[in-house]
Amino acid sequence: MKFPLSTILKRIHPRRMLHSINFSSASNFVKIVEVGPRDGLQNEKTQVPTYVKLKFIEYLCQSGLKTVEATSFVSPKWVPQMADHKEILAAVLKDQSWRSIDFPVLVPNLKGFESALSLGVKEIAVFGAASE
């Protein structure tokens, strides 16, 4: 038996309904975000050249993906593989053939967020952790 999302949420959290969301008009969809250019490469020991990363992104875009997390605005001291994040972002935003594709970037802190905004990023990814 299928239940609408609003019914499921009422059963899970009856006292904490999210009043800001109109469930009757919410669409049921899944957004697939490819994170390979960022998450898949960030721990590689050998430095991957920028042009190889861009070719990887190009192949992913040609496969029909609509959202590709291109890079991360982290300190090169902590993640050397992402040292070319500005070049990667500039290239994907400049390429007119990729206009219909979203390129979020990971921003771990305010400095990364401000840097990404200054370069024209339209979507960001953030991470968080729950602790006791």
By percentage, how much of the chain surpasses pLDDT 70?
Answer: 79
DSSP notation for 4-72: -HHHHHHHH-TT---TTS-TTT--------B-IIIIITTT-SSPPPHHHHHHHHHHHHHTT-SBB--EE
User: Residue 23: which of 43, 45, 1, 8 has the closest Cα?
Assistant: 8
* Domain boundaries defined on the chain: 30-125
Question: Is the per-residue pLDDT at 132 higher than 70?
Answer: no
Nearest 5°: phi and psi at 102? -90, 140
Question: Is the per-residue pLDDT at 23 higher than 90?
Answer: no
Confidence of residue 96 (pLDDT cuts 50, 70, 90): confident
- Give per-residue pLDDT as tens, 32-75: 899 999 999 998 999 999 999 999 999 999 999 999 999 999 99
